[in-house]
Amino acid sequence: MKPILTIIALWLFPSGLFLLIAGLLYQWFDRKLLALLQNRIGPRWFQPFADTLKLLAKEEIIPEGVNPYLFVGLPPVALAGALTAALYVPIAGLAPSYGFSGDLIVVLYLLSLLTLCMGLAGTNTLDRFSLIGATRTLTQLFSYEAPFLLAMLGPAMAAGSWQVGTITAYAENHWLILTQPLGFIVALVGLMGKLEMPPFDAPEAHTEIVSGALTEYSGRGLATFNLGRAVELVVGLTLVSAFYLGGVSNPLLFVSKTLALLFVMVGLQALLTRLRIDQTVGLWWRYGTLLVLVQWFIMILG
């Protein structure tokens, strides 16, 4: 029985196919809602699927001057990182498939893998827009990563464990958004930074650097990176809502809480102007880190 369960966990649920579909649906929700807030009509529900299929079917152009192995290899690694992270988080409200003491750190680093891969992919090409985009991607990684990590460790400290399963079980009985509001804000905004959503989309600001680090990607590579980002959206939303919004103990709670969180994020996307990269760094190190440290200080005192 065990090998079959492992295969299901890896390929169908919670990781694998289920997550890919869920990710694209969440991406559609994000796009549609943003469109409605911006007085547009927005895509139909199958648009992200159609985009992905179209890109997968297309030729992948490998530009001159790149390391072809790295160019082709990075997108799958990024997607694999995001999918692996899903094995340790309570997707769809069920207990994590795997878990060990301290897996929270592993999950957070697996989620950063996507950003790292995109940075590498950008620096791999000779394209100027990619190079600037990659620099910005990595700069942004270094600015939001520490505050986001600290914000995710807040619930871990409250639960007294660094295992995602244990923290989730603890959070089901405690709405940590009430006891750690500052940490929640940093985690939410940090997630937006991680997903390079507006206003943190300087790394792919298309009025300046076309498409940032992924400018040279087409076809399969682009589709894979996009899938990786879709998966990361779901995993990130799951983590934040499981930790801060009173847990996700069943599928219904999971869907409602993650979508509510996404709703807030879409609202912020519609309201805010893109930050320049120096403003992003300033924001995180001046306010983000400070907020989270204040939160920790309160927790230690209280």
* Binding stretches for another protein (CB under 8 A): 37-40, 128-129, 132, 135, 198-199, 201-202, 205-210, 270-279
Whole-angstrom distance, CA of residue 263 vs CA of residue 68:
39
What's the one-letter identity of residue 168?
T
Whole-angstrom distance, CA of residue 184 vs CA of residue 43:
30
Closest approach, Cβ 216 to another protein, in A, equals: 15
- Residue 39 vs 173, nearer CB to another protein: 39
- Residue 95 vs 126, nearer CB to another protein: 126
- Residue 177 vs 195, nearer CB to another protein: 195
- Residue 215 vs 238, nearer CB to another protein: 215
Closest approach, Cβ 41 to another protein, in A, equals: 11
Query: Would you say 219 and 59 are in contact if contact means Cβ atoms under 8 Å apart?
Result: yes
Whole-angstrom distance, CA of residue 118 vs CA of residue 115:
5
Closest approach, Cβ 15 to another protein, in A, equals: 34
Q: Please state, in angstroms and as integers, the Cα–Cα distance from residue 101 to each residue in 15, 161, 167, 169, following that order.
A: 20, 8, 11, 14
Whole-angstrom distance, CA of residue 5 vs CA of residue 8:
5
Closest approach, Cβ 178 to another protein, in A, equals: 28
- Residue 135 vs 258, nearer CB to another protein: 135
Closest approach, Cβ 34 to another protein, in A, equals: 8
Cα torsion through 168, 174, 178, 182, rounded to 10: -30
